[in-house]
Amino acid sequence: MTHDKLRRQILSETARLLITQQETLVGRARLRAARKLYRGWVKPADMPSDREIHAELDRMSNFHQPAPEDRFALFRQLLIALEKVQQPKKTHPEGDALNHSLQVYDLVCDEVPYDEEMLLAALLHDVGKGIDPKNHVEAGLGVLGETITERTAWLIANCHEARKIKEGTIGMRARKRLQESENYEDIILLAESDLQGCQVGVSIPELDDALEHIRSLETEFGL
């Protein structure tokens, strides 16, 4: 892991611990985050400063909703922000990141319309781009926190790696790690949908309709 990546991850986790009130002191939260993310001693230079942490808290607080019952309000807020995220036209001719996310959701919904965790992974996999485009996976997972299940978080965390399987660029160890997961078929479906969800002019569902469908699954099946 590079020093910059470790620093960003510690920053995101520290802010998450503070904003969810799992820790109330910046120093304790920073130390706990470092211990969680790295086995061994972390150099002071690799630790985020107090100023960086407070800036991250300000950014994340714009999206955070603390009560579990409000999680769909949080999802909607994060997704709406993606309308302003314009992606490279060469790889994303469809335009903004919300359009892409809804395309991915629609493709996954065609295959597994009753799998709430998969549908949420498809819809939310890029929400971090509205917070920190350079570190969007960690940023997204950081602000989503416990509003999503461990399986949904794993799918989001590994989507980009699974894309490399389809692109033929993944390493042997990384491929084996994914193949050994019980969610291997699901991550492949998500990766394929992520790659395909960049079409111009295709019909996509309304955001509120997508969220309402997922909410109905939660109510119906008690997920």
Q: Let me know: does 33 contact 14? Beta carbons within 8 Å.
A: yes
Identify the domain boundary among 30, 46, 61.
Answer: 61
- Most confidently predicted of 21-25, 34-38, 191-195: 191-195
109 and 214 co-located in one domain: yes
| SS3 (DSSP) at 128 | helix
Whole-number pLDDT of residue 186: 96
**Those residues with Cβ within 8 angstroms of residue 191's Cβ, 6 or more apart along the chain or in another chain:** 159, 162, 163, 165, 166
182 and 82 co-located in one domain: yes
- Calpha distance 60→116 (Å, rounded): 25
DSSP lists the bridge partners of residue 96 as 86
Model confidence, pTM: 0.71
- Calpha distance 33→48 (Å, rounded): 11
- Calpha distance 220→49 (Å, rounded): 46
Whole-number pLDDT of residue 223: 47
| SS3 (DSSP) at 68 | helix
Q: Return mean pLDDT, the chain.
A: 87
Q: Let me know: does 131 contact 15? Beta carbons within 8 Å.
A: no
Helix (H) and strand (E) counts in the chain: 11, 0
22 and 99 co-located in one domain: no
86 and 131 co-located in one domain: yes
pLDDT at 63 over 80: no
87 and 1 co-located in one domain: no
166 and 213 co-located in one domain: yes
Question: Minimal CA–CA distance to 18: which of 7, 8, 27?
Answer: 27
Cα-Cα-Cα-Cα dihedral of 91, 92, 98, 104, to 10°? -70
- Calpha distance 145→143 (Å, rounded): 5
Assign 130 a pLDDT band (cuts: 50, 70, 90): confident
Identify the domain boundary among 42, 61, 80.
Answer: 61
Q: Which domain holds residue 40?
A: 1-61
pLDDT at 132 over 90: no
136 and 102 co-located in one domain: yes
Give the domain CATH number at 101: 1.10.3210.10
Whole-number pLDDT of residue 222: 53
The structural domain count of the chain equals: 2
88 and 188 co-located in one domain: yes
**Burial letters for 162-199: b for 16+ Cβ neighbours within 10 Å, e otherwise?**
bbebeeeebeeeeeeebeeeebeebbbbbbbbbeebbe
Residue 166 structure tokens: 């389809």
102 and 210 co-located in one domain: yes
Range of weakest confidence among 37-46, 162-171, 207-216: 37-46
53 and 107 co-located in one domain: no
167 and 209 co-located in one domain: yes
